[in-house]
Structure 1
Amino acid sequence: MNYIPLILSGVFLNAFAQLFLKKGMLMIGYFDFSLVNISQIIFKVALNPFIILGLACYMFSVGLWLLVLSRVEVSFAYPFLSIGYIVTAIIGYAVFHENLSFNRLIGIFFICLGVVFISKR
């Protein structure tokens, strides 16, 4: 059976978790960790809908990942997690206007190449 769609579902959920967490933290903004404001920050983080959505994506991605690991070798499945780097870099660039330099694009290319090599049995 081909488990790559199941693996990729977990990878994409994990990547979207990062993006939702980023959006949530952009809404909260910069803050200093200190005992004076810790309760206020915890309150803001705990009630932010994007943070909650990001954590939910993580929860489901872990469930999928456990399913994957029960069916395929970890040395086959784990390299696919690097696809999450690609997804987050591209969406980070498109949505959050983050830097996507030539060096990062070259790195993404090598990640893709590596995943292709790993996925060939």
Structure 2
Amino acid sequence: MNFATFCFIVFGVLLNAVAQLLLKAGARNIGEIHITLANIFSVGWRVATQIPIIGGLACYVLSVVLWIIALSRVDVSVAYPMLSLGYVVTALGAWYLFGEALSMQRLMAILVILVGVAWLART
């Protein structure tokens, strides 16, 4: 895998992680969502008009474009496991931005992911 392809993969994964964090921020703005037939449109409108949610969806679109470019250059069996980097970025971002817990077990799992991705990138 060359450097440019690696960059497409990494930036695609990072955009995907940012999308998750923006969606979480938008969901926090709304509060716990309970959908019924009576409120489906009002809840849908509240969700659709949240700036963080709109930003998260835009990040998803951009990440898909980068992902398609990456898949045109590298085997899916190499690219797909790189998506696990998203778990790392999202977990760290959720800890930093939202105060979510990062236990020792989660940190060790993140380390395993990082070692696996580094190993895979060298093939």
Match in the other structure for 2:71:
69
Letter in 1 for 2:60: Y
Give the structure-2-normalised TM-score.
Answer: 0.95
**Cα shift at 1:31:** 2.1
Aligned residues: 121
Match in the other structure for 1:32:
34
Q: Aligned partners of 1:74, 1:60: CA distance in 2, in Å?
A: 19
Extract unaligned runs of 5+ from structure 2: none
Answering whether residue 38 of structure 2 is matched by residue 56 of structure 1, we say no
Match in the other structure for 1:101:
103
The one-character-per-residue Cα deviations of 1:24-66 (angstroms, maximum 9, x if unpaired) are 0000001212111111110001111100000000000001100
RMSD: 0.8
Percentage of identical aligned residues: 46
Extract unaligned runs of 5+ from structure 1: none
Match in the other structure for 1:16:
18
